[in-house]
Amino acid sequence: AVADSTLAELQALDVGTWKAARYRGERMPTLAQVLDVVPPGKKILIEIKSGPEIVPKLVEVLQATQLPRSQIIVIAFQEPVVVAVKRHLPELKVYWLAGFKQDKQTKVWSPTVDELLRTFDRLPADGLDVQGNRQFVDRTLVDQLRQRGKEFHVWTIDEPDDARHFQSLGADSI
């Protein structure tokens, strides 16, 4: 478990062999090391998978990098993380990640688009980065985001037809 490991233990792991033999011996970089190699003009998305307690460490790492803030975007599912990042790093773009789940027994999907937008409206997010479920993500949702002056992004798009669909809706990124 990452949380129970030291940086030295994590960096001793071979993180490349699973992909291909030519990557054997690759080591896990720190976020600071990754930020140092982001090419000029390219963006990096940092997904925070823990809670807001990590934000002070993120602030510390970003204070030490020369990478322009305009190249850094933070994405997170947890609402308190979105709030904390915008409070401590207001110059960064932050996108709220959201997905849809279907209850196995009732077959009811949640959240509804209205619930999704109500939650989004409470957040200081710059955009919504939503699971590309065509049943829910449609022109109406995109229009509502645009009326709010917010960005629209989708994730887990594996089929070319889906990519073309979300491109036609004006996705800022897929």
Q: What is the dihedral of CA 75, 81, 87, 90, to 10 degrees?
A: 0
Q: Which residues contact residue 138 at a Cβ distance below 8 angstroms, ignoring those fewer than 6 apart?
A: 169
- Render the burial of 75-113: b for 16+ CB within 10 Å, e for the rest: bbeebebbbbbbeebeebbbbbbbbbeeeeeeeeeeeeb
pLDDT of residue 3: 85
pLDDT of residue 70: 97
pLDDT of residue 28: 95
C-alpha gyration radius of the chain: 18
Q: How many CB atoms lie within 10 A of CB 150?
A: 19
- DSSP state for residue 67 in the 8-state scheme: S
106-142 pLDDT tens trace: 999 999 999 999 999 999 999 999 999 999 999 999 9
ω into 111 cis (within 30 of 0): yes
How buried is residue 74: exposed, middle or buried, by Cβ count under 10 Å (0-12/13-18/19+)? Answer: buried
Q: How many CB atoms lie within 10 A of CB 136?
A: 18
Q: Angle CA(97)–CA(98)–CA(101) in degrees, nearest 5?
A: 150
pLDDT of residue 1: 87
Could you give the 3-state DSSP secondary structure of residue 43? coil
Q: What is this structure's pTM?
A: 0.91
Q: How many CB atoms lie within 10 A of CB 7?
A: 9
| Averaged pLDDT, 29-52 | 97
- Render the burial of 160-170: b for 16+ CB within 10 Å, e for the rest: eebeebbeebe
